[in-house]
Chain A
Amino acid sequence: MLSKRIIPCLDIKAGRVVKGIKFLGLRDAGDPVTVAKAYDAQGADELVFLDITASVENRKTLVALVEKIAANIFMPFTVGGGISEIGDIRNILNAGAEKVSLNTQAVKFPELISSASKRFGSQCIVVAIDAKKQGDYWEVFINGGRTPTGIDAVIWAEKAARLGAGEILLTSMDFDGTKDGYDLKLTREISSKVNIPVIASGGAGKLEDFYNVFTQAGADAALAASLFHYGKLSVKQVKEHLKQRGVAVRL
């Protein structure tokens, strides 16, 4: 049976992990390879690296970093942040990433999804959606959550899937950072409308939250950042909890 996935997310700036990483007594908490290895040891199913600088000059650093990670960690990982061209996608995939994640550029130029999935296959094209509740719908925000678009997130997810996206990485801006649990309504709405896997993101704070997003909202994977980084919960604890309650996980 296909396992539900637990995915730690790391923010990268100029080839280094940013935001505090305070778990497992890492000697160099800024080195992505060291952090990735620690999550590997905890049994993480995948990793997501988000490059938050995303300048042209930085692309080379990012590709070199991807190569370094792939040389040390034999698990799947996704790379996102400022990816705008087919050439970027090719370089990142060739360097050893399993998938790339598109966000702002996919909203601005949806044909990037179709051309990338045609060239590299749907299975490696993730579309990341940052959504925020506005009245009776969820609005898509771009540029790291700074710019509203007026686009309905559910309709956008359906369109992205139709264009060839292989996965949706769905972040609730309302729940992100609250530790109150994932946005079950948003996740359920999108997961039921698209026939591609959905990664829920934003709001994880306790074991129960993971159980709920898998059993009540149809998520295929759950992503968390600070919860894992600060060692409040380990990936292993989350998976053991899920297994105990009958959710299929890889342990």
Chain B
Amino acid sequence: MKIAIIDYGMGNIHSVSKAIELCGAKPLVTGKKAQLDSCEKVVLPGVGAFDDAMAELEKLGLVSAVKKQVESGKPFLGICLGMQLLFESSQEAKSKAGLGFLKGQVVKFSASLGQKIPHMGWNNLEYISGSCALLKGIKANEQVYFCHSYYPEASDKNIVAATCDYGLEFACAVAKDNIYGVQFHPEKSQSVGLKIIRNFVESC
């Protein structure tokens, strides 16, 4: 199976690619529309600022290409910033809107929660949806690696596939039809993370 990893200059494609390979699929790191069409699944990674990421996608002509992939029904996984971009907007953004496949806004952890920001390190998964193919076999209290200051507030709570507690309970995984998103880094979460990537390869 060929899985595209969208390369738009926003970090950390290498680990994702290797993790996919380890899970038995063939990763194709690409920023080209035609190549995206040739893949059966798509991953949108991302590290960095929301506006910059959207600007890069626009510059490379990838906004419509990503839209086409999502609408084709292909399993689509957004990781970290790549997941945030799937929402309508972000508090971090000064000029750009998100891709809008998922309803809701990406917001910043409030300093009033009394937690240090960024949320950095290993934290427990609290609630896990039993029906989410991406999280098959993952149990509550297993830990994954987080490294972020913003989190998504989904308008439709039914898309929340897992939550994490950091002063407040927030959605750290979302799933809607063929669209999946994780705020944490499965490619950096050792065996638990690799299990999630394997689920994406085999079960989504």
Contacts and interface: CB of A to CB of B under 8 A. Distances in A.
A71 interface: yes
B18 interface: yes
A8 B47 CA distance: 24
B11 to A, nearest CB: 5
B122 interface: yes
Interface stretch (A9-17, A92-100, A133-141, A147-155): A92-100
Contacts of B73: none
Interface stretch (A25-33, A119-127, A208-216): A119-127
A75 B123 contact: no
B51 to A, nearest CB: 10
Interface of B: 9, 11-15, 18-19, 22, 47-49, 52, 81, 111, 115-124, 143, 145, 147-149, 165-166, 185, 187-190, 193-194
Interface in A84-141: 90, 93-96, 98-99, 118-124
A123 B123 contact: no
Q: Is the interface of B mostly helix, strand, loop or mixed?
A: mixed
Interface string A156-196: 00000000001100000000000000000000000000011
A2 B119 contact: yes
A68 to B, nearest CB: 10
A231 interface: no
Nearest to A166: B118
Contacts of B120: 123, 166-167, 197, 220
A121 B81 contact: yes
A3 B121 contact: yes
A5 B143 CA distance: 12
B27 to A, nearest CB: 11
B110 to A, nearest CB: 11
A75 B111 contact: no
A196 B116 contact: yes
Given A3-B143, A98-B147, A197-B116, A74 B121 contact: no
A5 B122 contact: yes
For chain A, give the interface size range: 35 or more
A51 interface: no
A208 B9 CA distance: 44
A220 B11 CA distance: 25
B122 A120 contact: no
Contacts of B81: 121
7 contacts: A2-B166, A74-B189, A75-B145, A121-B148, A167-B118, A196-B117, A197-B116
Contact of A67 (B14, B166, B187): B14
Contact of B185 (A94, A98, A118, A195): A98
A119 B48 contact: yes
A74 B14 contact: no
B54 to A, nearest CB: 14
Nearest to A3: B122
